[in-house]
Structure 1
Amino acid sequence: MIFTDHAHDAVFKYIEGTIGVQVFFIISGFVMSFTTRHLTASPLENFKDFAIKRAIRIFPLFYFAVLLTILVNHATLSLIFNDHLSTLIRVLLFQPTFINNQGPYFGLWLLPTVWTLNYEMLFYALFAISLIAGRFRYYALYSLLLVFVVVVPLILTHQFSFSPDVNYPFTIQYLSFITNPIILLFLSGLLLAYLLPKVKLSKTITLVFFVLSTIIFILYIRRILPVSPINNILACTLLVAAVILVDMQNLFAPPKWLIYLGNMSFSVYILHMVFFTYLPMMFEQKLSFLNLKDSWLQVAIIFIIVFVFSAITYELIEMRFTNYLKDKLFTRKTRL
């Protein structure tokens, strides 16, 4: 959804890409909780292992994407390193640029998808901290998220909102970022990881639930159902819950190519905007005689380039390089 939304606004005008980010946040919350439910090491060891593994998972590909973005945007290199060096440093540290105060983005950069990774890294940081609480880690994490979203805004501004567009009048800008209600989507994923393994449904009921959840989701993104922050969370959560239940009961056997595409989705996500931003400009300058502007052919060509390039980065960076780092840093094989 995110990919196609960014690809071509005219061609994919019926696909809501921004809601794909919110679905991803719910999935992330679910995966982090589900894959760490049987930790056996000490709380501090779990904290260290989780933090290092998440860094290994995110940093190499992210920094490669930032470097690629800077290189293809060579016309503004001097601007980046002279007038906006502080902004680049914020990006590299997964901090909002605060070029503006519009939530949940709080300023975009040359690589627009960066803002979502800021929240992802915030969630990872809170999750890692919660691991120190041992068997009480989930209570600690739920509390941290609710304190950020509800308690801090109430104490400092006497208000709170469930809308990611909220702009609290904080004197400290960073508080606007860590209190943004979009982080409740991670909480939704955490709750799914706790509840779904306890749910016992027949395959027929699961299939019906999947169909109904999909219909509700489609009606919502088409704005046929009422749009609100709460409805947004519910629509996304129902869809993710339905897909997880279908997977748990093995109702569908996805083809190998789809599994591979899912495995390399991070590469596709982090790199696609580089190509969809700069390739159309290059086509217009170098291949104007082909008249590719705003055409299906241009979209198809960029799609192919994105997937081929993403497959290469997935194999070289996400698989070989990150596994090399894990093998060097860990003596026991407990990969998340």
Structure 2
Amino acid sequence: MMLISVQALRALAAWVVVGHHFMQVFFNFEVHSPLEYLFADKGAAGVDVFFVISGLVIFLASADKALTPWRFMLMRVARIAPAYWFYTLLMALLIVALPAMFPNDEWVLSHVALSMLFIPAQHPAGFGIYPLLDVGWTLNFEMLFYLLFALALWVRTSYRFWVVAGLLYLVCGIISPALNLAGGFYSNDIVLEFLMGIVIGMLYRRGLCRARAWLPLLGIVGALVAIYIGADVPRSLEWGVPSAVLVISGVTLEPYFKGSRLLKMLGDCSYSVYLIHTMVLYAGRWAAEHAGISPYAMLPVCIAVTALCAFASYQWLEKGSYRVFKRWFGMDDPTRLSRQKH
């Protein structure tokens, strides 16, 4: 069962990223106030929180469970891919139907295919190694992490951290730089944040994420201050370590979050918020320009549309597609796993 504290952090991270991209889409990161600076310069740290949470959740979800690597990957693909595929195709359709709304985007069939397969590739518009739905760059890292973690399922739970760490170092620290895989995409030190999440999961399972409320609250304040101040160090240190402190502090405060249906729902919808929000923001910018509306008058409209669409997306697209995939792959059949084990 998902920790409500983690759900709250997922929701917070998603909406911070929305604020970051609002500043990008509407203002090209030009800031005129401390709040604008906060979202423009620090909002991307929401992704780092996501990565730490991903390591934590995957470790806890697989600990002491009879999961084969193949079954684990099927479950992850069934959960993550359908919504991403849907919004990637929707993005392609919108670029064709409403090119004025997406003046900096274009699509090529081969690039769409690579995007759907989670293979990093240069965007046709030439602004870097991004999939067609550009927020999907994080999912390329997620899929690599899932694959390496799937291999680690062959060993006991207590050894999985070391196996994943070794595989990440091999792929991202040696093979990727040597072969220049995807232009060095996988050499990004952000992958270390998955390992931070695994460590938090190990501590949680051992009952070590307990303390009086003042300590995790102090950790949250310290982490936020560290993110705001920043430092001239690699991203995994500048934002990754504070993100890990945020997550472990949130987990430690779990007793205070239990039973909150609102926070659970906000967390449930966070993935769809992440996938949908840039399209909503581009549409909002186009509407604001044509109607002569202030960006800040359009912001609450974009927030409301994103929230409503994300809620519908989670209820019908995410949950519905997951049920279909589980039925197709027999993941609802408890005897199937038993047969696989023999």
2:318 aligns with 318
Q: Secondary structure at the match of 1:14?
A: helix
Percent sequence identity over matched residues? 23
Structure 1 length as normaliser, TM-score? 0.80
Could you list the per-position Cα deviations for residues 117-146 of structure 1 after superposition, in whole angstroms to 9, with x for gaps in the alignment? 111111111111222345554432121012
1:119 aligns with 141
1:202 and 1:59 map into 2 onto residues whose CA distance is 35
1:270 aligns with 275
Could you list the per-position Cα deviations for residues 36-82 of structure 1 after superposition, in whole angstroms to 9, with x for gaps in the alignment? 111135xxxx11211111111112100111122122222559x956x
2:58 aligns with 32
Q: 1:302 to 1:175 in 2, by over 3 A?
A: closer
> Is the CA contact (8 Å cut-off) linking 1:145 and 1:187 kept in structure 2?
no
Q: 1:143 to 1:171 in 2, by over 3 A?
A: closer
Structure 2 length as normaliser, TM-score? 0.78
1:128 and 1:14 map into 2 onto residues whose CA distance is 37
Letter in 2 for 1:270: L
Say which of 168, 174, 177 aligns to 1:145.
168
2:74 and 2:131 map into 1 onto residues whose CA distance is 26
Letter in 2 for 1:186: F
2:111 aligns with 87
2:247 aligns with 240
2:78 aligns with 56
> Is the CA contact (8 Å cut-off) linking 2:118 and 2:140 kept in structure 1?
yes
Q: 1:253 to 1:39 in 2, by over 3 A?
A: closer
2:253 and 2:232 map into 1 onto residues whose CA distance is 27
1:92 and 1:278 map into 2 onto residues whose CA distance is 23
1:202 and 1:178 map into 2 onto residues whose CA distance is 35
Letter in 2 for 1:146: Y
> Is the CA contact (8 Å cut-off) linking 2:203 and 2:209 kept in structure 1?
no
1:156 aligns with none
Structure 1 unaligned spans of 5+ = 154-167
Q: 1:333 to 1:302 in 2, by over 3 A?
A: farther
Quick check: 1:4 aligned with 2:19? Answer: yes
2:298 aligns with 298
Structure 2 unaligned spans of 5+ = 1-15, 24-28, 336-342
2:161 and 2:221 map into 1 onto residues whose CA distance is 32
1:18 aligns with 44
2:334 and 2:269 map into 1 onto residues whose CA distance is 22
Q: Offset of 1:179 from its aligned partner?
A: 2.8
2:248 and 2:309 map into 1 onto residues whose CA distance is 31
Q: Offset of 1:108 from its aligned partner?
A: 2.8
1:201 and 1:265 map into 2 onto residues whose CA distance is 24
> Is the CA contact (8 Å cut-off) linking 1:27 and 1:189 kept in structure 2?
yes
1:106 and 1:195 map into 2 onto residues whose CA distance is 37
> Is the CA contact (8 Å cut-off) linking 2:17 and 2:47 kept in structure 1?
yes
1:186 aligns with 194
1:53 and 1:4 map into 2 onto residues whose CA distance is 31
Q: 1:233 to 1:24 in 2, by over 3 A?
A: same
1:253 and 1:128 map into 2 onto residues whose CA distance is 30
Q: Offset of 1:195 from its aligned partner?
A: 2.0
> Is the CA contact (8 Å cut-off) linking 1:5 and 1:13 kept in structure 2?
no
Q: 1:19 to 1:187 in 2, by over 3 A?
A: same
Q: 1:325 to 1:201 in 2, by over 3 A?
A: closer
Which stretch shows the higher mean deviation, 269-278 or 105-114? 105-114
